Amino acid sequence: MPNINVCSSKLGPLVSVLISGTVRESQMPGVKAGEEVKVSFLAESTAIVRNIVGQGIVYDGISPYKVCQEDFSVSFSSGFTGHFLKPPPPGPLAVSGTQGVPPGGLWFALMKERVIYDGAWVSTESSDGTVGVPLDMHDSLATYGGVFNVELDRFALPSQKITEAVGTYDKSVLVKADLNIWKDWAANYVIKADFDKMTIAEAPSIQSQDA
């Protein structure tokens, strides 16, 4: 099995993604309402091919791209920062919740016209943005996770190919967005934020890292 934690630029330049918003509610010490929140990371520019044994290649309007886990961060204007909490290595017989996708990864997915709307999310399940991301919020006594799931107007994204979707998407094309962080259980939100914009750009080559 390939190393699912490491990105490679062998199939094209890495891409930088930044999702920013404004904190609406906070129960986290050190984070206040009105602060800017940024979800940032690098991702590969070639989508994973989901091939389900017995069914073939998946064509469902979703293109998942491997996220460079070391670069993932959630930062606030106060200076507080959270990071991706890596799960333990998957066992040899582990099966991802998304068929055709290796377990243990973190994915940035672009969705186009499925069924009506476009969208984007970062999640440990490539086809489900509501699953979200396990987070290290510097609190060893609790468990945290973030849901960063954006739904956009139909045709807001020019393509499912990330290199053709380079640009900035703001609230003018927003249908709805979940930018939330939970503590201990998924419905216990300690931070809720309003979406401001999402920017997709080619990352400087100096940041590229080959597997």
- State pLDDT tens for residues 121-134: 999 988 889 999 99
* b/e map 162-198, b = 16+ CB within 10 Å: beebbeebeeebbeebbbbbbbeeeeebbbbbebbbb
- Does residue 1 lie within any of the structural domains? no
Q: Are 19 and 146 in contact (CB under 8 A)?
A: no
The tens digit of pLDDT for each residue in 72-106 reads: 999 999 999 999 998 766 555 555 556 556 666 89
The confidence score (pLDDT) of residue 48 equals: 83
pLDDT recorded at residue 206 = 44
Residue ranges making up the domain that contains 50: 15-85+96-205
Is residue 166 in a domain? yes
Structure tokens at 132: 């979200």
In a domain, 91, yes or no: no
Between CA 118 and CA 109 the distance in angstroms is 11
Residue 40 lies in a domain: yes
* Weakest mean pLDDT among 6-20, 27-41, 161-175, 177-191: 6-20
Number of domain units in the chain: 1
Judged against a pLDDT cut of 90, whether residue 44 lies above it is answered with: yes
Does 54 map to a domain?
A: yes
> Model pTM?
0.86
Tokens 């068929």 map to which residue? Answer: 99
Of 132, 187, 144, the closest CA to residue 19 belongs to 132
